[in-house]
Amino acid sequence: MKKLGLFFMVFACAAFLMAPVWAADNPRPAATKLAKDLAARYGQSMPQDTYYYLVDLVSNVKTAGYSTVFVLTNYDSTSRLRVQGFVIPMGAMPGDEEVVDIWLEPYGVKYVNLDDYLGNENGWALLYSGSDFGCGALIFNSTGVQGMTWIKPWYWYTD
């Protein structure tokens, strides 16, 4: 009987944890709204086909030893690629976001240190381009808790 009770308890916990995944139509409704608002704001200057990356949390808290570097990649072998977007520090008010505007050479890779955008803060970022590109965030710690992690952001395409 204890085994049966334990089974149902594990099943209930798993169902509770998975319910948001099963119920979600859109795993990033706030990001999708932000992207649509961005497209509406810029009108025709925004490409119709746009590739987006949303990085939910990046850390640049130097006092705790954390730093973040974005790694951006141009997959196109023939053309330069413009990556634009915003880095938003935690608690920033509307209009306080930092604007990102980076050009990538064909098959180019660029490492962007978030010191320029976040200072000594945590935050998140929305990056976009009219052509497909790669994006990731490398978060590392240089104190006694040394280590690093690679974050693959949310990726989606709108037309």
**CATH number of the domain where residue 99 is located:** 2.60.290.11
* Confidence at 78, pLDDT banded by 50, 70, 90: very high
Domain enclosing residue 47, as ranges: 30-158
Determine the average pLDDT of the residues in 36-47: 62
pLDDT at 103: 96
Does residue 150 have a pLDDT over 60? yes
pLDDT at 75: 92
Please give the torsion angle defined by the CA atoms of residues 48, 53, 57 and 59, in that order, rounded to the nearest 10 degrees: -110
Token pair belonging to 16: 């509770």
Pairwise pLDDT comparison (152 vs 14), residue with the higher score: 152
Residue 25 lies in a domain: no
Residue 9 lies in a domain: no
Does residue 10 have a pLDDT over 70? no
Total number of domains in the chain: 1
Q: Where are the beta strands (DSSP E) in the chain?
A: 50-59, 66-74, 81-89, 98-104, 109-113, 122-129, 133-141, 147-151, 154-158
Residue 17 lies in a domain: no
Does residue 24 have a pLDDT over 50? no
Give the bridge partners for 102, in sequence order. Answer: 83
Q: What is the pTM of this model?
A: 0.71
Mean pLDDT of the chain: 78
Residue 18 lies in a domain: no
At 98-107, the pLDDT tens digits run 889 999 999 9
Does residue 47 have a pLDDT over 90? no
